[in-house]
Amino acid sequence: MTTHMFNSRFDRRTLLKGAAALGAFQVTSPFIIAARGETPIRMGMVDPLTGVYAAPAGNEVMGAKLAVARINAQGGILGRQVELLVEDSANDVGTGVQKARKLIERDQVNFIIGDVNSGIAAAIAQVTAEKKILHIVSGGHTDSITGKDCKWNVFRVCNTTRMEANSVSNVLFNKYGKKWHFITPDYAFGHTLYDACTDDLKKLGGTVTGNELTPLGTTDFSAYLIKARAANPDVMILLVQGSDMINCLKQVVQFGLDKQIHVAGTQQELESLAALPPEARIGVWMFEWYWKQPGVPGVEKFVADIRKVNNGNVPTARHWFGYTSAMTFALVANQEKTTDAVKLATALENFELPDDVKLQPNKVYYRKGDHQLMTSAFIGEAQSKGKDDPEDLYRVDEVVPGDKTAPAVSETGCKVQWPS
């Protein structure tokens, strides 16, 4: 025993194996909510509850839970109670696909919601199409999901990257100038958002001074910022999201770069602004939904309901994504009086959301042809401190309807193939 104790030297392979295992740093935490009734309708939700997108994913789940509570209070779907089954994709494509399969094959869910990560959302869409399950992509933005890889059973609540770019490019160009330098996350979402922005920029007559592709989960952006600054652009466009956005903006401000170059971007989220120190809440952006909309029906109640379950904090766009995704299933199934995926998908084409679900001023509907929700863009500027509410960190200047930001169906590359 004693000799063994002293001779138990690790070998290099052990260390390397362990190091490789660190790359697969994931944890699973499935749980079931609101199991009631004998044959409940099941909604499955796959989202990255751990990893860099844990905060937005958690909020999407919270929104979906609120929707399920409201659906059940109103009599459920076809008189049956609704269960929400949540699985953690751990921000990993393989895990996400495996969890979606588990939900469909073992748990027999009727609907699937997810994922925040575009790459995972696209991969899950393959599975749901194969299994003929109605699927709403709640928070993955890459174009192809409702573009060239669109599917008859897949609908999307959040904006496409094209819509995001189109909504704010003009404002950025007119306000900040024509030489843009990009900090782009190096995966599906970042690439398509970058393409959309640069297409807009070219149309407007501007130039790209460079594009820094940063790995997802980058903690230190200094090397990229040094390069971006050296290119001397008018504006630095940050396309990174989640904790990457927080780290990047924070370093930009620490380095005083915001005093030398304008800093702005396309998609910004309340989760990120809340995690930033006040001095780093800067720039013009687009929000996909905002909690402060005086006079818009249903918003106040939604905000109050989320506050009750969110430590008193207001809902973010992510809460709304989860909520709207789950509500959509209930609305369309109750309208059509069926859970048949093909019938429901057909009915969802040009399906308009009612006031208490859309929670915004403009008309909101799932467009026939590409299944993209025509949802508004909230253009405005980050505020260092909220005036009346500490969480009012964004000033909305304009709410642009989805019809105006989305390219025509013919330009999306989507051709829906229905099952025979």
Partner 1 sequence: MMTQLLLFNVTNGLIIGAFYVLMALGLSLILNLSNVINFAHGGFLVIGGYIAYALAPYVGFWGALLLAPPLTAIIGLAVERVLIRPLYGRDPLYSLLLTFGLAFMIEDGTRFIFGPQGKPFAIPPFLAQPLSNDLFFITGYRLFMVAVVVIAIALLFLLLRYTRLGIRIRAGTLDLETVAALGINVRMLRSLNFAVGIFLAGLSGVLAAGQLGLEPTMGTGLLMPSFIAIIVGGIGSLPGTLAGGLLIGVASGVTAVFFPAASEAVIYVLMAVILLARPRGLFGEEGMLT
Q: Which two tokens stand for residue 138?
A: 């709640």
Output the smallest distance, CB 51 to partner 1, in A. Answer: 6
CA–CA gap between residue 154 and residue 379 (Å, rounded):
27
Give me the residue label for tokens 């063994």.
4
Binding site for partner 1 (CB under 8 A): 1-6, 8-12, 14-16, 18-19, 21-23, 25, 27, 29, 49-52, 54-55, 57-58, 186, 212-215, 217-220, 222-227, 229-230, 243, 246-247, 250-251, 254-257, 260, 271-272, 274-277, 311
Which structure tokens are listed for 17? 């194996």
Q: Which is nearer to partner 1, 55 or 377 (CB)?
A: 55
Q: Of 107 and 186, which has the nearer Cβ to partner 1?
A: 186
- Compute the least distance from the CB of residue 11 to partner 1, in Å: 5
To partner 1, the closest distance from the beta carbon of 156 in angstroms equals 23
Smaller CB distance to partner 1: residue 243 or 376? 243
The answer, yes or no, to whether the previous bond of 115 is cis (omega within 30 of 0) is yes
- E strand segments, 115-174: 134-137, 154-156
Q: Is the CB of 138 or the CB of 360 nearer to partner 1?
A: 138
- What CA–CA distance (Å, rounded) separates 102 from 341? 18
C-beta closer to partner 1: residue 277 or 354 = 277
Shortest gap between Cβ of 108 and partner 1 (angstroms)? 28
Question: What sign does the dihedral 92-96-99-101 (CA atoms) show?
Answer: negative
Q: Which residues of 38-67 are buried (b: 16+ CB within 10 A; e: fewer)?
A: eebbbbbbbbbbbbbbbbbbbbbbbbbbbb
Nearer to partner 1, 32 or 223 (CB): 223
For the bound state, the minimum distance from the C-beta of residue 186 to partner 1, rounded and expressed in Å, comes to 5
Nearest residue to 102 (alpha-carbon basis) of 44, 155, 57, 34:
44
Name the minimum Å distance from CB 67 to partner 1.
20
C-beta of residue 84 within 8 angstroms of C-beta of residue 68: yes
Supply the minimum distance, in Å, between the C-beta of residue 172 and partner 1.
22
Nearer to partner 1, 219 or 420 (CB): 219
Q: Which residue, 228, 143, 237, is CA-closest to 198?
A: 237
Distance CA 117, CA 137 (A): 10
What is the distance between the alpha carbons of residues 125 and 172, in angstroms, rounded to a whole number? 33
